[in-house]
């Protein structure tokens, strides 16, 4: 098989064929697609991407290999590929009986950033989430200015933490973060991340009163309603 390879300015390999023989188009050398079961072979590379991002200071949820595998098999992951090389990822996770879906583990490999890959991953995640959980509110919790920018231009609305899921399993995703102590001290009602929600068309979002307000006496008419109009 004829193969031509040369190193790009950032060390990236340019090739008309990937190492496995998968064609790489010159017009769009990247494929952004939903995961499939056979992608479990990319788990070591996926862990490498997440670890590299974490080591360079990014706040990325910690997921075990088993959780990553479950997401891949369940086709909740979106992969950006260059031929056979995994270069970007994002994963959708449903919470609270599918009332919420978060998009996390958004990472693009160094050397492939600022080419619109995160934008493509995000729009694929939104498309998958809308189809699979049509009534779910999509949420994002991020310290990354790039992801915040991306979210805002995708229609996410900034919200206070009391509007986020109350499911403890959701918040366990934060326990590897350097700010986790701060989050816990604030009883999961505030931290450094930007929080945003993308509500499906036609769905009215519940506006939840902060936890502290719920400590008010039940018989006090002013505080007795949990939901505001």
Ligand X SMILES: CC(C)(COP(=O)(O)OP(=O)(O)OC[C@H]1O[C@@H](n2cnc3c(N)ncnc32)[C@H](O)[C@@H]1OP(=O)(O)O)[C@@H](O)C(=O)NCCC(=O)NCCS
- 107 binds ligand X, rule: CB under 6 A: yes
Closest CA to 116 of 139, 145, 86, 146: 146
Question: Given candidates 45, 73, 113, 132, which one binds ligand X under the rule CB under 6 A?
Answer: 113
- 117 binds ligand X, rule: CB under 6 A: yes
Q: How far is the CB of 13 from ligand X (least distance, A)?
A: 18
Q: How far is the CB of 134 from ligand X (least distance, A)?
A: 24
- 183 binds ligand X, rule: CB under 6 A: no
Binding span for ligand X by CB under 6 A among 67-75, 139-147, 202-210, 212-220: 139-147
Residue number, 109 or 128, with CB nearest to ligand X: 109
Residue number, 177 or 208, with CB nearest to ligand X: 177
Where in 142-171 is the site for ligand X (CB under 6 A)? 142, 144, 146-147, 149-150, 153
Question: Given candidates 24, 32, 60, 162, which one binds ligand X under the rule CB under 6 A?
Answer: 60
d(CA 91, CA 197): 16
Q: What sign does the dihedral 49-51-54-59 (CA atoms) show?
A: positive
- Residues 40-59 vs ligand X: string with x where CB under 6 A? -------------x----x-
Residue number, 35 or 144, with CB nearest to ligand X: 144
Site size for ligand X, by CB under 6 A?
20
d(CA 226, CA 229): 10
Q: How far is the CB of 178 from ligand X (least distance, A)?
A: 13
Residue number, 129 or 142, with CB nearest to ligand X: 142
Residue number, 29 or 208, with CB nearest to ligand X: 29
Residues near ligand X, by CB under 6 A: 53, 58, 60, 106-108, 113-119, 142, 144, 146-147, 149-150, 153
């Amino acid at each position: 098989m004829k193969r031509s390879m040369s190193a790009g300015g950032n060390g990236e390999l340019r090739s008309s064929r990937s190492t496995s023989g998968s064609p790489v188009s010159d017009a769009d050398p990247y494929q952004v697609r939903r995961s499939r079961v056979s992608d479990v072979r990319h788990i070591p590379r996926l862990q490498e991407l997440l670890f590299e991002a974490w080591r360079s200071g990014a706040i990325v949820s910690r997921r075990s290999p088993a959780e990553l595998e479950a997401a891949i098999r369940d086709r909740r992951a979106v992969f950006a590929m260059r031929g056979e090389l995994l270069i970007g990822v994002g994963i959708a996770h449903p919470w609270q009986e599918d009332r919420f879906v978060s998009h996390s583990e958004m990472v693009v490999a160094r050397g492939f950033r600022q080419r619109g890959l995160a934008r493509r991953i995000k729009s694929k995640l939104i498309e998958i989430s809308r189809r699979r959980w049509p009534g779910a509110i999509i949420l994002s919790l991020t310290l990354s200015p790039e992801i915040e920018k991306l979210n805002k231009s995708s229609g996410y609305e900034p919200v206070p933490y009391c509007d986020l899921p109350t499911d403890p399993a959701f918040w366990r995703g934060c326990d590897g973060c350097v700010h986790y102590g701060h989050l816990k001290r604030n009883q999961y009602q505030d931290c450094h991340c930007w929080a945003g929600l993308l509500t499906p068309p036609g769905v009215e979002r519940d506006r939840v009163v902060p936890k502290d307000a719920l400590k008010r006496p039940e018989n006090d008419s002013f505080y007795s309603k949990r939901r505001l109009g």
